[in-house]
Amino acid sequence: MGASRGPAFRSMNKRKNHFRPGLDFVSEEMVAALLKKPTYDFNELFEEVLNRLRARNAAGSGKEMLRLRVYEKLRMLVGEGLVTKGEDKTYTGKRESLQTRRAEMAEAKARILQRRGGAVMNVE
């Protein structure tokens, strides 16, 4: 009972509450959607992201799991100040901040693909 659980266990339970650039298709599509149209209610944003992921053939998980992922990522964007939540539960993206985030994600994606030897997993 009193046995110590190793660092692998602790890192497994660590909360992801900050931005980690990489090959994150959900975040890419959320940023793209918020740049296309700045204000959405959650259901409208979710449908837009879902349609964009399906077009990329990247909507692999179930719809409800994807809904949870979109909501979690949206809350992270609100917490970071890239998106504001209105009184009527609409979400409005801050264009300059989202464009900066899009550039950060593109740089991170390029670094990852370069390390992998240029192998592309998902063609856009």
- pLDDT tens readout for residues 50-78: 999 888 887 776 889 999 999 999 999 99
119 in a structural domain: no
Q: What's the number of domains the chain is made of?
A: 1
Give the residue-averaged pLDDT of 4-26.
56
67 in a structural domain: yes
| pLDDT at residue 109, rounded to an integer | 85
CATH number at residue 97: 1.10.10.10
- Select from 59, 30, 50, 34 the least CA-distant residue to 122: 59
| Whole-structure pTM value | 0.71
The lowest-confidence range among 7-11, 31-35, 54-58 is 7-11
6 in a structural domain: no
Domain range enclosing 69:
22-114
Question: Half-sphere exposure (CA, 13 Å, Cβ side) for 41?
Answer: 5
pLDDT band at 91, cuts 50/70/90? very high
